[in-house]
Amino acid sequence: MSRILIVEDDAALRGSIRSILERNSYQVRTAGDGAAGARELQAGTFEAVLLDIGLPFVDGWRILDGLKGKRIPSVIVISARGEERDKVRALDLGADDYLAKPFGADELLARIRAVLRRAQPSPGPGVVVRLGDVVVDLGNRSVLRGGAEVRLSPTEYGLLAALARHAGQVIDHRTLLREVWGPSYADERNYLRTFVQRLRSKLEADPKNPQIIVTAGSRGYRLGPAVAAQPT
């Protein structure tokens, strides 16, 4: 049974979300402000966090920033701030998804199922891709750089795995978005750009001159050198 933390200062909304999740067999903990939410994250283990941004004492931005570099649960930001810049900022700071208020129970549950599914993918094929000092082992679900483990969020790994399964081939934006996030995200280019940047910062010697995750013009992305076309 998945454990979910709700960090939301609106007591009515917090209670409503808790009821929805518990009716769907999730274990739930709640926090009414950012300081309490940070303490819950330190003390407990969660598969997902629903995190409001406009929190008292410690805001959601600071909580997100504090999770960087750690083994973290999947984070869905829930916020009344529906502007694109806030969505991009949340993704830049490490969120896996962004859900603007108000939202319905069905959409909330669908987003939670999606992030949990990315965190527990089915075993991959025994494919190992080596690009310089970076090794992506799909069978063992591991990523090494210079022999050291690279810590990736579930969504970061899902994107890298999708590219690795077709190493050397260009995968278009919509295909990547559908494969990693789901059909309803096919036009969310900001998600893709942000997560590619996050992967490059962890894998590339020079993220501004990427050699591992390569932009293929306006078509999409490719992992590593292009695969030569086979003669017919």
- Each residue's pLDDT tens digit, 183-231: 888 888 889 999 999 999 999 999 999 999 999 888 999 999 876 544 4
Pick the CATH number of 128-223 from 2.60.120.380, 2.60.40.2310, 1.10.10.10, 1.10.645.10: 1.10.10.10
Is 28:6 a contact under the CB 8 Å cutoff?
A: yes
Is 150:162 a contact under the CB 8 Å cutoff?
A: no
Is 185:162 a contact under the CB 8 Å cutoff?
A: no
Class of domain 3-119: alpha beta
- Each residue's pLDDT tens digit, 96-123: 899 988 899 999 999 999 888 877 755 5
DSSP state of 57: S
Boundaries of every domain in the chain: 3-119, 128-223
pLDDT bin (cut points 50, 70, 90) of residue 15 is very high
| Burial classification of residue 166, based on how many CB atoms lie within 10 Å of its CB (0-12 exposed, 13-18 middle, 19 or more buried) | middle
User: What's the pLDDT score for residue 82?
Assistant: 67
Amino acid at 103: F
- Each residue's pLDDT tens digit, 34-55: 999 989 988 888 989 999 988 8
